[in-house]
Structure 1
Amino acid sequence: MNRETLFESISMLDEDILERSENKKRRNSGRIIITLGTMAACLALIFTLALPSINKPLESASMPAAFQSGIAKYIESPPTDLPFTKADLMWLSQEDIFNKWNTAIFSGTVTKLNNIVISFKGDKAYRAIAEIKVDNIFRGAIDKGDTVSVLLPCPISGGMLMTGTEIISQLTLGSTGIFMPIEYDGSAYWEQNGYTLKLQDVAPYGLADGMRFAFLKSGDGILFARDMYPVISEAKTLEEIENYIRSMIK
């Protein structure tokens, strides 16, 4: 399997994540498969500190199918006793990051941020959904002013730290930055505990991991996985990031 190393996820992914043709399964493990030639996921070691509440909207008929059916629900905070799991991100070159999944790329502001729980016949997986108002488009079928719902690879709680999600776990309401989510289609799905869930039934977009697909503006400067982007490791502004992105997607 060349240099790619798949990585584990709490109550979702484990070291046995394989392509759809593989047969090995575990009752308490799950997998996301994005049939674009490969897959991505995230999550690992989790330390729970303080858990601030996030207002959750009511499920309605206008929401994605997983919420209408009750498979997915909004919650204020994830549990404080999630299991500890160790993992590594799959290896990607800088060219892979921009071209492997033909991600949408845009800058914008987070206008809503909600934790969710997804039930897989008794198994529970905790994530979050961010709604981002688009300011500028670099790639993708999105217009300026659109609001894009993006499934995050971890729940959002102020005191929660996870390896593999150190960047996106710091997202807050009002955060601005550049985001590079995958647009889900019918071939993107999540399997866990014998249940298959289409990812587009949860949100139309999702991040492949919580490190390499977001550049966030913070009070301390630009927050991103600098060691994974050596060309711009010293970048201090979003404008520098934008110029780099344009050069990578020409």
Structure 2
Amino acid sequence: MEETGGDGKLKLKSLDGADDPICVLTVAPAECSSSCPGPSSSSCLAPAPQHAPTQPSSFSYGVNSLYHAAAEPDFIPAYSPVKPARRNPSSGPKRPEKGNVIKPPFAWATDRRATIHTLNHLVSRGITEIHGGSQCKRCEARRVITYDLVDKFAAVAGFFGANQHLMHDRAPSKWMRPTFPDCEACGQRNCMRPILAEKKREMNWLFMLLGQTLGCCTHRQLKYFCKYNANHRTGAKNRLVYLAYRSLCKQLDPTLRI
């Protein structure tokens, strides 16, 4: 005989009415919805139907694991971390370009960087002497040296024209290790070097051309000169010195074929 207890358990009684502990059958009631009248209803005694999961779990086993394995793709893409965007070096602030127009540092210089007037222009204006400062390497005494423009330029242009085919676009040793005037203060010979300006735009290029002392310029000063005279400014110093002599001679006399 069947009997349901108050705790929702289904018990079997023997024929004589006594509870048989061996025949007690416990049935757990199914979960009820809000519309279920209560645990005493017969609908609550039916086990809840088992529905197939709508989406297999990656941690299921048995049949669900077979279903999950079949749903996996044929390959697993490799891990590709997101790389940060590369910085464009041209996007940063740029150094402003220097203008080519400057205040002429000398009467024989133009308002363009590393450019001098022509010989005819200077002679027509009465500029026939070029001066510049020099300093003794021994006693550091300073004095102003003056060169005659026409005579000194004739000597430089003549030497250049006579030896150009032997230079091979390189300045000779005479220009790389120039000879300096003697010092009148201490009597030291070959020691009065030209004073180089601190700023490259204030260089006395014509004075150094006439004294044939362009070899005293630094590599940076020579590159500055070649930059503003449309010359290739990479190479050995003797090549830059050669280009400086040739460019200055062409500035003084554009008719020279050198």
TM-score scaled by length of structure 2: 0.24
- Give TM-score, length-normalised by structure 1: 0.24
Higher strand residue share: 1
Say which structure, 1 or 2, has more relative contact order (CA 8 Å, 6+ apart): 1
**Which one has a larger percent helix, Structure 1 or Structure 2?**
2
- Work out which of the two has the higher radius of gyration on C-alpha atoms and give 1 or 2: 2
